Amino acid sequence: MKPLLLSWQFWAILSAMFAALTAIFAKIGVAGVNADFATFVRTIVILLALGAILAGTGQWQPFASVSGRSYAFLVLSGLATGGSWICYFRALKLGDAARVAPLDKMSVVLVAVFGVLFLGERLTLPNWIGIALIAAGAILVAHKA
């Protein structure tokens, strides 16, 4: 079991499963609620849950142990996450979860492109074909006939 818990694939699949549940639960939860307030409630739940996990597993670390550069990028990541959540909840308020979520997953395509442009990552032709298929699939699923 330990090798499974150390596998990035295992955690990525769990992430996808939780993201799918997020879309379904959020679509139901945002009914009759302002999308920004719904995002606020969700954020509080995440903060409390993660704080409990850190405390319960002894993973809390002193704030001084994190570099300024790491803090800067974590703050930027937090702002980007917040922007994503705000836009996502507004999209769910207005559209079908089955169409919103796949279009939101165009982030997969953008991560690949940004990874190459900004992080120097290298992708092969089959990787690019997969990225193109993800983009095409997201667009087709989001299309309303």
Give residue-wise pLDDT tens across range 81-131: 999 999 999 999 999 999 999 999 999 999 999 999 999 999 999 999 999
Separation of alpha carbons 29 and 21, rounded Å:
12
Structure confidence at residue 69 (pLDDT): 97
* CA triple 52-26-115, angle to 5 deg: 75
Structure confidence at residue 97 (pLDDT): 92
Name the band, by pLDDT with cuts 50, 70 and 90, for residue 1: low
Is it the case that residue 55 has pLDDT exceeding 80? yes
Structure confidence at residue 70 (pLDDT): 97
93 neighbors 35 (Cβ within 8 angstroms): yes
